A and B are shown apart, each in its own frame.
Chain A
């Protein structure tokens, strides 16, 4: 029986996070390989991988509210912005012209999740009344409203066009800038940030998986599939929609705090409508409603432009840039990928991965 990977004796076995030994093996291998990669790398690719990991956290947030609970949210960028500014105010270096308290990351990182979460809970009585496209349009309103506040609340955000600097990565009194030396191994700031992000990524990944496999997740799925039927079966719509928004905003806040602390600063117009759409595109390209999908989507989305650039440089195309420049090609590819994935592969990269996996699972009897 041990060789039958899909054979379970109980529901409990089936609902484990890694429910067979092949998955456990690959998970451990993946974690070790990632840590190794993040230690030895030290160039633009490390920067991009860190960005992709941080983006993944935000994409998971959107996936919880839109992919799991089926509540359309075009306001994810706004929540990310709220989290970012919470982190910047609480952690920002004292002495700058904007409001800052200079506290430790152990304080600002959780706070940057909690404040957007409270905001998400605050609007949830309204959002849970709306559904479908009206909800999406309402959230567009939120984007513009929050953006307006960001642009004008100069004491916090530095104002439109100026922005403000980020806090430093100082965890429990240890500044990441100093780096660590263990024997021959020198870990500098970027490695440390990458490893720290990886830790947060794994924690939030387990969080998403646990939501998906427990009561809350099943309630979300039932709301997504048919909210009236879910209500008839005893799912408290107001409570679970609120929960979905709360968790989603928490992830968004953490993502924003890490992302813009990493990039060094932020300008209010960053959190515009297009930024929210970017996250929707990531979730759709990755595969909405799945745990791994947003991970694939984020890595694809962050790494793709650089890969395209490398290809263009390698073949020496567009050197004179007669028609479109690189940024425009990126946007073009972004738009094309949204359309192509929605038409031809609605389950996104996860769908491709799922089919590949099943092909090799049944090999040599695949069909």
Chain B
């Protein structure tokens, strides 16, 4: 039982980090009707910025963390201004494909910089305790995972406050409800679009750091980790912020349970699920949820007129 709880907690922590990426997807989709496939690249870019400032430019790690996150947010803003502003009103799918193009561009430059060797981010999580982890009773916790869980919790609280209390949060909610009506009420919709991408970039960078910090190094394949948050968004519903969080937790727990219990299950049923089954398991859950609720668990059902 204690093993199960341990695995479950790891799943929750993983899900919390996924939720940062998923929230980026959802906020951008809600505000601008764009499904951003550039999010994984932004996450890797954020980690790249942090790595550059902390290890190559020799700035204090915590300072370079902040610089890296803000720079990634600004990159998101830049993408919105230069590329996506041209595409307002085009079919959703064309816009989604254009973000794939952006993703390819960012990753080409980033891969060139990363090179073949994995890079450490210059943080001190590796040096804490026993291999970056500590124990309470039977349970083993990784500092980085706990930090990720904590950061995700704080970010979600802040976002909640932002949407409830601030003018721009309200403007963003209004825009996501109806762009034209929001425009008619005097909301600067263009600025809201930019803000959504800025927040999306910030969240991606934070997630990127947690994915690649500590013993998890930054490699050319790091972006895949962020791409795994995609089924979470589908499960929760593309336009639902609570949905993104719940979906991410489901994905995180599934992935961690599937990872640890794959071999017992294979032994018991005498089947072979294959190497790396844990990364495919979320997609299987996604299939089933799409079959039952095509708009996702918390998504709003689209009302269509002929």
Residue ranges of A at the interface with B (Cβ–Cβ < 8 Å): 72, 126, 129-130, 132-134, 136-138, 140-141, 144-145, 148-149, 151-153, 160, 226, 228-229, 232, 273, 277, 280-281, 284, 323-324, 328, 331-332, 334-339, 342-343, 346
Closest to A152 in B: B274
Q: Is B156 in contact with chain A by the CB < 8 A criterion?
A: no
Q: Which of A129, A324, A346 contacts B294 (CB 8 A)?
A: A129
Selected A-B contacts with CB under 8 Å, 18 pairs: A130-B290, A133-B92, A134-B294, A136-B35, A137-B234, A141-B231, A144-B280, A153-B274, A228-B305, A277-B100, A281-B100, A281-B101, A335-B103, A335-B108, A338-B98, A339-B83, A339-B105, A343-B98
What sequence of 0s and 1s flags, for each residue 277-289 of chain B, a beta carbon within 8 Å of any chain A beta carbon? 1011001101100
- Chain B residues whose C-beta falls within 8 Å of the C-beta of A126 in the assembled complex: 287, 290-291
Residue ranges of B at the interface with A (Cβ–Cβ < 8 Å): 35, 83, 86-87, 90, 92-94, 96-98, 100-105, 108, 111-112, 227, 230-231, 233-234, 238, 272-277, 279-280, 283-284, 286-287, 290-291, 294-296, 304-306
Cβ-closest 5 pairs across A and B:
A152-B274, A338-B101, A335-B104, A141-B283, A335-B105
Bound CA span A332–B107, Å:
9
Bound CA span A161–B147, Å:
36
Q: Is the CB of A148 within 8 A of B276?
A: yes
Bound CA span A164–B275, Å:
19
Q: Which of A145, A152, A153, A339 contacts B98 (CB 8 A)?
A: A339
Number of A-B residue pairs, CB cutoff 8 Å, is 121
Q: Is the CB of A228 within 8 A of B101?
A: no
Bound CA span A342–B305, Å:
28
Q: Is the CB of B102 within 8 A of A232?
A: no
Given contacts A148-B274, A339-B83, contact A331 B104 (CB under 8 A): yes
Interface of A is mostly: helix
- Chain B residues whose C-beta falls within 8 Å of the C-beta of A134 in the assembled complex: 234, 238, 290, 294-296
Q: Is the CB of A145 within 8 A of B294?
A: no
Q: Is the CB of A343 within 8 A of B83?
A: yes
Q: Is the CB of A133 within 8 A of B231?
A: no
- Chain A residues whose C-beta falls within 8 Å of the C-beta of B87 in the assembled complex: 342-343
Closest to A230 in B: B306
- Chain B residues whose C-beta falls within 8 Å of the C-beta of A226 in the assembled complex: 306
